[in-house]
Amino acid sequence: MAGRRDGAGRGPDRRALGREAEDLAAEFLARRGLEILARNHATRRGEVDLVARDGDVLCFVEVRSRSSRAQGGPEETVGRAKARRVVAAATDWAVRHGGLDRAIRFDVVAITYAEGAAPRVEHFRGAFDAGGGAGIW
């Protein structure tokens, strides 16, 4: 897909690129043995891109992408406020689907696109905690 991949644009192209990144992340995680349980669980307080199971652990995954690492990696764009919104949506999903009795982890999948190269996909396990802090910062 041509064009900017850093989310700087607006409208349908940005959404399409987001879906593309989420598809890549889901495929990446599935190849590593995680079972994808849900996608794009949204509440009025936040959204979680992917819900997965890694053995007995319930994983809530934020997917971020950029066209280069020149201004930092995509994982660096997950600030505390975004993490808290993911936690809010994850809590809602867990309550609705009986996941509160399981171990929970918050991950980030970072995808960096480069012209003429395959996307670079990185998985940051335990990127942040249920309070929206710690992890990769």
Return the CATH number at 76: 3.40.1350.10
Q: What is the Cα–Cα distance from 123 to 137, expressed in whole angstroms?
A: 15
Residue 5 lies in a domain: no
Kindly state whether residue 35 falls inside one of the protein's structural domains. yes
Q: Is the residue at 105 inside a domain?
A: yes
Domain count, the chain: 1
4 domain residue, yes or no? no
7 assigned to some structural domain: no
Domain that holds residue 57: 12-128
Distance CA 78, CA 56 (A): 25
CB contact set of 56 (below 8 Å; sequence gap of 6+)? 102, 103
- Reported as a single tens digit per residue, the pLDDT across 35-93 is 999 999 999 999 999 999 999 999 999 999 988 777 888 898 899 999 999 999 999 99
On whether residue 82 sits in a domain, the answer given is yes
Which helix (H) or strand (E) segment holds residue 64: the answer is strand 57-66
Domain presence at residue 53: yes
Residues 93-118: pLDDT tens digits?
999 998 889 999 999 999 998 878 89
